[in-house]
């Protein structure tokens, strides 16, 4: 096993990774920006090194600083977490060049799966259903218009370099295509430094279902069941659960098998997530692949008992997976609620400020992943996630009651700081959610009344 792992991330995921490293006897080094010197992971880790100022571009996204720090502390591997540079092929390549193990897929696979148009083609090549759309980045507006006309409106424009729900624009009326196409390209350029976009059919009432897979890089891939992540605002997940409620088991099993098939085709190494859209009429459609540990991985851990970060480390260290498919026996239901510093009443706008009170829930079957503590400052430099509250129960009704209890118990707030806590309790109460009839449109519909 590795002797020292540099954790190239911040916040709750950095702490979560450090915890598993500690349990495996691996020395951990946290990196921090100037404003994170007193963070929970900086205190937890065996060592902490400051890599730049608060602005992520100059610290957590600064590949040279990350690799220099890793070499300086004698790390033999780098865990990129999620977000930031976790799926950046350059990061994987620079690590390799510097003699560091990048804990994730290879640079070339990151490059191929990171190109969303290419990923669509790869999925289609192994026989996965994909939504009708452009098979390459759109070359011209005329091409966009002709493909959109062929597959029929509504369509969705997506950045080739995008992912995680960012950089998408829905077009419902052909007259809006000119404007939306121009804005999608401009937005993609700003957000990802790559203006290329593609388009596909947009499903108004679909469910976001994803499959957690683990691969050893030698053709062995297993899945850890599916997650329903349909509760989203602005295409960003807010609440996730497993198993997917209201989805016929047979359909869920077919989706899981499809994900395994696709991952096997690319000799996937480590933890990854295959995302699908499911609609009642057309079955399921492959969307994109996330080549990293996922924010919502705790729900899968709670029903399977498998530590996903441990498996990532095992695979990256060349030990292969410590489990086989038959060891994956999901039990009960888990729900994760993301407590973000955002104001649901103002379009989920982040609310920076000081979190004066911070007392997360605890007790039976409740897991909290957080870097929060009283007095912590929420700055606009980083994302607004304060804590993930994940609960487990034998069945969905009990899990919902437990999630509601845990959220109610969570005392969190401070001057200027709003959170998604109360809004999530409204979701848990919502009859459409309770009946497991919700789609990705749930929150928009809630906003309407």
Partner 1 sequence: MTDDHTGQSGLGELCRRAGEILSTAPGPLKRVRVQAGDMSVEVEWPEAVVVSAPAVQADQAVAETPAAVGLRESPDVIVIAAPLVGTFYRAVSPESRAFVEVGDTVEQGQQVAIIEAMKLMNAVQADRPGRVVEVLPKNGDPVEYGEPLFVLEPCGLQSSQK
Residues that bind partner 1 (CB under 8 A): 34-35, 37, 49-59, 64-65, 67-69, 72, 94, 98, 352-354, 356, 375, 377, 379-381, 415-416
* Rounded distance between C-alpha atoms, residue 264 and residue 220, angstroms: 7
Q: x/- binding map, residues 39-68, to a second copy, per CB under 8 A?
A: -----x------------------------
Pairing of strands 101-102, 77-79: parallel
Of the candidates 366, 407, 417, 443, which one interacts with a second copy according to CB under 8 A? 366
Helix (H) or strand (E) holding 70: helix 63-72
Task: Figure out which of the listed residues 373, 379, 430, 434 binds a second copy, where binding follows CB under 8 A.
Answer: 373
The contact mask relative to a second copy for 270-299 (x = CB under 8 A, - = no) is: ----------------------------x-
Both tokens of 168, joined, read 């998408």
Q: Are 444 and 235 contacting, i.e. CB atoms less than 8 angstroms apart?
A: no
Query: For a second copy, which residue of 149, 191, 401, 435 counts as binding (CB under 8 A)?
Result: 401
320 binds a second copy (CB under 8 A): no
Of partner 1, a second copy, none, which one sits near residue 61, judging by CB under 5 to 8 A according to partner kind? none
Q: How far is the CB of 252 from a second copy (least distance, A)?
A: 21
**Rg, Å, the chain Cα set:** 21
Structure tokens belonging to residue 175: 């007259």
Instruction: Return all residues near 281 (Cβ < 8 A) that are at least 6 apart.
Output: none
Per the annotation, the verdict on 292 as an active-site residue is: yes
Cα 57 off chain centre by:
20
Task: Return the axis-axis angle of helices 107-114 and 89-97, rounded to nearest 10°.
Answer: 170
- Pick from 105, 163, 225, 360: which binds a second copy (CB under 8 A)? 360
49 binds, among partner 1, a second copy, none (CB under 5 to 8 A by kind): partner 1
- When binding is defined by CB under 8 A, the residue of 398, 425, 437, 441 that contacts a second copy is 398
Contact 30, 47 (CB under 8 A): yes
Pick 193 or 415: Cβ nearer partner 1: 415
Judged by CB, which is closer to a second copy: 426, or 447? 426
Provide long-range contacts, Cβ within 8 A and 24+ apart, for 61-66: 61/85, 63/88, 63/90, 63/91, 63/94, 64/94, 65/31, 66/6, 66/8, 66/31, 66/91
Among a second copy, partner 1, none, the one that 24 touches (CB under a kind-dependent 5 to 8 A) is a second copy
Distances (CA, A) of 190 to 137, 167, 187: 17, 10, 5
Among 246, 362, 426, 445, binds a second copy (CB under 8 A): 362
Interacting residues of 190 by C-beta distance below 8 A, sequence separation 6+: none
Minimum CB–partner distance for residue 39 and partner 1 (Å): 14
Among 2, 5, 9, 20, binds a second copy (CB under 8 A): 20
Binding mask 376-395 for a second copy (x = CB under 8 A): ----------------x-x-
List Cβ neighbours of 153 (8 Å cut-off, separation of 6 or more): 171, 172, 173, 174
Could you say which of partner 1, a second copy, none residue 369 binds, taking C-beta under 5 to 8 angstroms by partner kind? a second copy
CA distances, 337 to each of 15, 290, 297 (Å): 18, 20, 12
**First-residue to last-residue Cα distance in the chain:** 54
| CB of 289 or CB of 406, closer to a second copy | 406
In the list 16, 27, 196, 201, the residue contacting a second copy (rule: CB under 8 A) is 16
Shortest Å, Cβ 418 to partner 1: 13
Enumerate residues 85-124 that contact a second copy by CB under 8 A: none
Which letter, b or e, does each residue of 230-245 get, where b requires 16 or more Cβ atoms within 10 Å of its Cβ?
bbbbeebbbbbbbbbb
Other beta carbons within 10 Å of 81 = 25
- Parallel, antiparallel or unpaired: strands 47-52 and 77-79: unpaired
Catalytic one of 112, 169, 207, 292: 292
Taking CB within 5 to 8 Å according to partner kind, which of a second copy, partner 1, none is near residue 53? partner 1
Instruction: List residues binding a second copy (CB under 8 A).
Output: 15-16, 19-20, 22-25, 44, 298, 301, 305-307, 309, 331-332, 359-360, 362-370, 373, 392, 394, 398, 401-402, 404-405, 408-409
Residues forming the active site: 292
């Amino acid at each position: 096993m590795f002797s020292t792992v540099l954790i190239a991330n911040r916040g709750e995921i950095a702490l979560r990774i450090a915890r598993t490293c500690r349990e495996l006897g691996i020395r951990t080094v946290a990196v921090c920006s100037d404003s994170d010197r007193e963070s929970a992971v900086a205190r937890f880790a065996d060592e902490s090194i400051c890599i730049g100022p608060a602005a992520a571009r100059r610290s957590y996204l600064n590949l040279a600083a990350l690799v220099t720090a890793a070499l300086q502390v004698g790390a033999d591997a780098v865990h990129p977490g999620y977000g930031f540079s976790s799926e950046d092929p350059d990061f994987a390549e620079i690590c390799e060049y510097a003699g560091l193990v990048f804990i994730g897929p290879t640079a070339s696979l990151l490059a191929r799966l990171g190109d969303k148009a290419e990923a669509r083609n790869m999925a289609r090549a192994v026989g996965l259903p994909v939504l009708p759309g452009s098979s390459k980045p759109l070359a011209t507006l005329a091409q966009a218009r002709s493909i959109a006309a062929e597959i029929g409106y509504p369509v969705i424009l997506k950045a080739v370099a995008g992912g995680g729900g960012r950089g998408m624009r829905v077009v419902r009326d052909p007259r809006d295509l000119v404007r939306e196409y121009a804005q999608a390209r401009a937005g993609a350029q700003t957000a990802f430094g790559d203006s290329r976009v593609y388009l596909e059919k947009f499903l108004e009432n679909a469910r976001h279902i994803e499959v957690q897979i683990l691969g050893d890089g030698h053709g062995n891939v297993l899945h850890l069941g599916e997650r329903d992540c349909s509760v989203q605002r602005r295409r960003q997940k807010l609440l996730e659960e497993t198993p997917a409620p209201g989805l016929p088991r047979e359909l869920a099993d077919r989706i899981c098998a499809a994900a395994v098939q696709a991952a096997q085709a690319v000799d996937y190494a480590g933890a990854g997530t295959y995302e699908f859209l499911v609609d009642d009429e057309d079955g399921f459609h492959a969307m994109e692949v996330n080549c990293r540990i996922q924010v919502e991985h705790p729900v899968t851990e709670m029903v399977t008992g498998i530590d996903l970060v441990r498996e990532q480390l095992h695979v990256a260290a060349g030990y292969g997976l410590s489990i086989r498919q038959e060891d994956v026996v999901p039990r009960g239901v888990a729900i994760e609620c993301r407590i973000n510093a955002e104001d649901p009443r103002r379009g989920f706008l982040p609310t920076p400020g000081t979190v004066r009170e911070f007392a997360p829930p605890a007790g039976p079957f409740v897991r909290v992943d957080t870097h929060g503590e009283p007095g912590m400052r929420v700055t606009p430099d980083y994302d607004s996630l304060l804590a993930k509250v994940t609960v487990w129960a034998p069945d969905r009704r009990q899990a919902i009651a437990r999630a509601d209890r845990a959220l109610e118990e969570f005392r969190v707030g401070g001057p200027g700081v709003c959170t998604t806590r109360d809004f999530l309790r409204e979701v848990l109460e919502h009859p459409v959610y309770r009946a497991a009839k919700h789609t990705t449109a749930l929150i928009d519909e809630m906003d309407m009344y």
